[in-house]
Amino acid sequence: MPGNFGSRRDISRKDFLALGAALAGASLLPGCSAFSMDPDTADRSKSGGKAGAGAGAAGKGKESPMLAARVKAGSLPPVEKRLPANPRVIQPLERLGVYGGTWRTVEASTDPSWLWMTVCHDHLISWDPTWTKIIPNVAESYEIRGNGREYVFKLREGMRWSDGQPFTADDLLFWYEKIYLNKEITPVLPSTLQINGKPLVVEKQDDQTVTFRFPEPNAVFLQNLAIHGPPFRLLPRHYLERFHKDFNPELGNDWAQKFLEKIDELNNVDLPVVTGWVPKNPHGDGDRQVWERNPYYFKVDPDGSQLPYIDKVVFTFFQEQGPLILQAANGDVDLYMRAEVTTPKNRPVLARGTRTGGYKLVKVKDPTHNTVGICLNLTHEDPDKRRMFQNKDFRIGLSHAINRPQIIDLVFLGQGVPWQTAPRPEVPFYKSDDMGKQYTEYNLELAKRYLDKAGYARTDARGRRLGADGRPIVISVLIQSRYPVMIDAMEFVKGTWAKVGIELRIDTASPELVGTRMDANKYDCTLDVGELGYKGMLTDPRWFFATGGSSYAPLWSRWYEGGTPQEKPPEAMRRQAAIYRQKVVGSSDVDTQYAGMREIIEIARDEFWTMGISRPAESYAIVSDRIHNVPGDNKMWLAFKCPYPAVTNISQYYLEGE
């Protein structure tokens, strides 16, 4: 299951490009408008939009000095010719900034999620910084028609790609006609871009106006565009035509795979983009990647000065957490937050480093409902294990054999409460805690009774329970190696499950290998962070029934998504899918959507598809003293459905003290 800042099971690079980049193989929190940095809602009283009110003193200029030098040398047009007619105005959070500097950050393992959550996130629309409403971004405006059947986007006149070429409706039409509708590139249409098997239609009205039309209402379309890894990315027609067989018949039979490589903006540094920074070296080239400002970026500050303020962003890659934590503790990281690193276990070390490292730990809200979601493979390829894992009493027995208070105390340093993979208490459409608390009592005798009831009462001379084949029951749990905290937690589970006659084996592997084995349906059990515990579940209910990205029933998930091989899920899950399509996706009325989610959650409660360990405590971000305009305590979320920090308008961050 995808998750927060890399806590998700990340899909393969090929799948992401074919789905997330080309299509995506595929909420709303109360917020203070004074915090919003959207020009229509921002509180301008802090700086009044005046350069003298903050670090940006008079004489800041309309562009970065590094670009002004290129203009003077004649290698770049003047800034007024590089901006759209109506650029997006970003109100700085605290004060106007100054140009220059390098934002230093890090990456854990080879997973690029933090990149996507920061420098790669600019789409037609965006969440506002408070995760309250959808606002225009690349699109100058948008209009919703027909209860969510049609979405009309007005693009910014004169906007350009990072190579200076015009960005127009033709680029969106190219994506639709040559990528979305091309079976070689997109063999399966994602559920987010179709309704009941019927694809959307994209039409160009004029050079700046495009209509997305669905056969039936798709009321969560905008929310799905605003996420990390949206259902399609903005791609440049002028550059990509030469790599597409419709325009270049001389291309070989492997043209589609090579085309996917060309739209990989992390590794193809020649690909024009619309984001604030562009890569200068491939992601897979060495132990770091440098991103440099886009001279044609479409955003400005209230003075009309082109953003971003920061010249470069440098990502340093670490295969292990130790060196990463050391670099952060030494004060060499300006901003970073990811669930597998900013953990309770690492907090004491990072907190001590604040004294000398020149940084602080900023409290971050966490929409996650569980630290460790335990996902038995309910569509296991072995018939005996499939029957065993699908037996609800068997799952309940395992749940009662987990000593959650012990794990919370020793692994999570006493932070959190026992909890199943259930919505957080703050969710407005499900106020009960009965799903979260059910079967969380640590009671070995009760666990044994449920396992007996499930039909696994026979044991061998060593007290090990026997399966249908007469052999001791062994469950292998597949864990991504980048999650050491999960490994620690499962060591305790291994000990208590052994007391009720169930042997647990821990199998760690890279994220890529875990994804491959799950896609092939070759695993007993896997783990995931329950990152969708708040309103993000409206667009991604994977923990409550098997949709795209679910870790507990890949064949049922493909039935929902339309992929192969697939298997029809049980009646209860088919009912959940129908409710979701009719009441959540099919209605723009919030009350109807909430009622539908309540029904779906209650069915999930009764079926108990997955189990969890604990609901996490608050998380935190590492923020250096030299980076400014970064939101403070409890102003950001550790969420990929509303990708932070990108939605806080990172182009208005600035550096002092380099």
Residue 110 is predicted with a pLDDT of 65
CB 425 within 8 A of CB 431: yes
Q: Which residue has the tokens 């005996």?
A: 384
List the domain range (segments joined by +) for residue 431.
Answer: 370-615
Q: Are residues 305 and 394 both part of a single domain?
A: no
Banded pLDDT at 57 (limits 50, 70, 90): very low
pLDDT exceeds cutoff 80 at 63: yes
The three-class DSSP label of residue 640 is coil
Residue 535 is predicted with a pLDDT of 84
* Residue where a domain terminates, one of 615, 631, 646: 615
Average pLDDT, the chain: 89
CB 224 within 8 A of CB 540: no
Overall number of domains in the chain = 2
Residue 21 is predicted with a pLDDT of 35
Strand partners, 202: 212
| DSSP annotation of 242 | G
Beta-sheet pairing, 614-615 with 335-336: unpaired
Residue 505 is predicted with a pLDDT of 98
Banded pLDDT at 658 (limits 50, 70, 90): low
Each residue of 188-219: pLDDT tens digit? Answer: 888 889 888 899 999 999 999 999 999 999 99
Banded pLDDT at 175 (limits 50, 70, 90): very high
Average of per-residue pLDDT across 316-322: 89
Q: Are residues 435 and 554 both part of a single domain?
A: yes
pLDDT exceeds cutoff 50 at 36: no
Residue 184 is predicted with a pLDDT of 96
Each residue of 602-629: pLDDT tens digit? Answer: 999 999 999 999 999 888 999 999 999 9
Residue 285 is predicted with a pLDDT of 86
Low-confidence winner among 66-70, 114-118, 490-494, 551-555 (lowest mean pLDDT): 114-118
Q: Are residues 195 and 264 both part of a single domain?
A: yes
Q: Any idea what the CATH number is for the domain that residue 535 is in?
A: 3.10.105.10
Residue 95 is predicted with a pLDDT of 96
Q: Which amino acid makes up residue 122?
A: D
* Count of other CB atoms within 10 angstroms of residue 491: 14
> How far apart, in whole angstroms, are the C-alpha atoms of residue 103 and residue 313?
5
Q: Are residues 573 and 468 both part of a single domain?
A: yes
Provide CB contacts within 8 A for 138, sequence distance 6+. Answer: 122, 123, 124, 125, 155, 156, 159, 167, 234, 274, 298
Low-confidence winner among 10-19, 27-36, 405-414, 581-590 (lowest mean pLDDT): 27-36
Q: Are residues 333 and 234 both part of a single domain?
A: yes
Beta-sheet pairing, 359-364 with 198-199: unpaired
Banded pLDDT at 48 (limits 50, 70, 90): very low
Based on C-alpha coordinates, what's the Rg of the chain?
Answer: 25
Nearest Cα to Cα of residue 473 among 485, 481, 464: 464
pLDDT exceeds cutoff 60 at 567: yes
Q: Are residues 472 and 326 both part of a single domain?
A: no
Banded pLDDT at 19 (limits 50, 70, 90): very low
Q: Is the pTM of this model over 0.85?
A: no
Each residue of 438-453: pLDDT tens digit? Answer: 999 999 999 999 999 9
Residues of the chain with pLDDT > 90, as a percent, come to 76
Average of per-residue pLDDT across 567-582: 96
Q: Any idea what the CATH number is for the domain that residue 79 is in?
A: 3.40.190.10
Q: Are residues 651 and 594 both part of a single domain?
A: no
Q: Are residues 436 and 528 both part of a single domain?
A: yes
pLDDT exceeds cutoff 80 at 24: no
Q: Are residues 278 and 167 both part of a single domain?
A: yes
> How far apart, in whole angstroms, are the C-alpha atoms of residue 609 and residue 596?
19
CB 115 within 8 A of CB 107: yes
Q: Are residues 227 and 325 both part of a single domain?
A: yes
Q: Are residues 611 and 623 both part of a single domain?
A: no
Q: Are residues 633 and 522 both part of a single domain?
A: no
